Amino acid sequence: MILNEIHVLVKKELHLEWRQRYAIHGLLLYLASTVFVCYLSFKAKQQAINPITWNTLFWIILLFIAINAIGKSFTQESTHRNLFYYTIVSPEAIIYSKIIYNSLVMIGISMVGFFFYSWVMGNPVGNIPLYLVAIVLGGIGFASTLSLMAGIAAQGENSATLMAVLSFPVIIPLLLLILKLAKSAMDGISIQENWDEIALLSSLDTIVIVLSGILFPFIWKH
C-alpha cells in the first residue's frame, strides 16, 4: 500500500516539475553562473586552481544548490493540499516520495554540474568512477537530510531561516565524509581501497532515510 502511495506521489512531483520547468531552469542557471564566477575568480589571472580548492568549491556549490532546490519541498505546498494529503496518504509515503524525488533532482543536477564544472575549470580527478559514486551518495545524502529538515521547518514560521539553522549542523558531518571520499577519487585511489568510506557514507544515508520515516509522522500530526 505504501509503495503505491509513494509511486503516485513521485509521479505527481515529476508532473508538477514538468509543468513548472522554470524551477529546474533556475537551478541550472544558478549552477552555470556560480561556476562562471569561480572561473573568473581563479582563471582570469591565468592561475592554475589547486585540486583541493577545486574539490571544495564544487561541493560548496552543490550544497547551496541542494538547499535552494530542496528548501521549497514543503513550503510550496498549500495548506489545503496538505490537508488533502493528510486524509488520503500516510506521512511515511509523503517523506519518502520527497526524498526519492529530491534525490533524482540532486543526482541529475550534480552530474550536469560535474561535467560543466570540469569543462570550465579543468578536471584534476584521478578516478572519475569513484568521484561519480561520491556524487550519487552525496546527492542522496543531501536530499534525505534536507528533505527532513524542510519538513520540520515548514511547521514553523520563517521556514527558510529555520531550515538553515537546523540543516547546517546536521549536514556538516555528511559533507566531511563526502569530501574525504571525493579527495580519494582526486588522488586516483581505486574503489576497492575505499569500500570503508563508501560503506560508511551509504550507512549514513540509510540511517537518515530510516529516521525520516520514523520522525516525520510525529511532525506531520502536529
> How many Cβ atoms are within 10 Å of 196's Cβ, its own excluded?
9
Percent of the chain residues topping a pLDDT of 90: 18
Q: Write down the pTM of the prediction.
A: 0.86
Degrees to nearest 5, angle at CA 169 with 208 and 110: 65
pLDDT digits (tens, 9 = 90+) for 42-91: 765 445 678 888 898 999 999 888 888 887 766 666 566 666 666 677 87
Please give the pLDDT value at position 27: 81
Q: Which three cell numbers stand for residue 152?
A: 520540520
Handedness of CA 186, 191, 196, 202 (dihedral sign): positive
Banded model confidence at residue 125, pLDDT cuts 50, 70, 90: confident
194 DSSP 8-state letter: G
pLDDT digits (tens, 9 = 90+) for 98-113: 889 889 989 999 999 9
Question: Which of 3-17, 72-86, 126-140, 170-184 has the least mean pLDDT?
Answer: 72-86
Residue 179 in 3-state DSSP? helix
Q: Burial-class residue 213 by CB neighbours within 10 Å (0-12, 13-18, 19+).
A: middle
pLDDT digits (tens, 9 = 90+) for 158-211: 566 677 777 778 888 888 899 999 999 988 888 888 888 899 999 988 998 998
Average pLDDT over residues 133-142: 92
Nearest by Cα to 198 from 189, 101, 116: 189
- Identify the helix (H) or strand (E) that includes residue 108: helix 91-121
pLDDT for residue 141 is more than 60: yes
pLDDT digits (tens, 9 = 90+) for 111-123: 999 999 988 888 8
Please give the pLDDT value at position 66: 87
Please give the pLDDT value at position 46: 46
Contact criterion met (CB below 8 Å) for 185 and 138: no
Look over the chain and give the mean of its residue pLDDT values, rounded to a whole number: 81
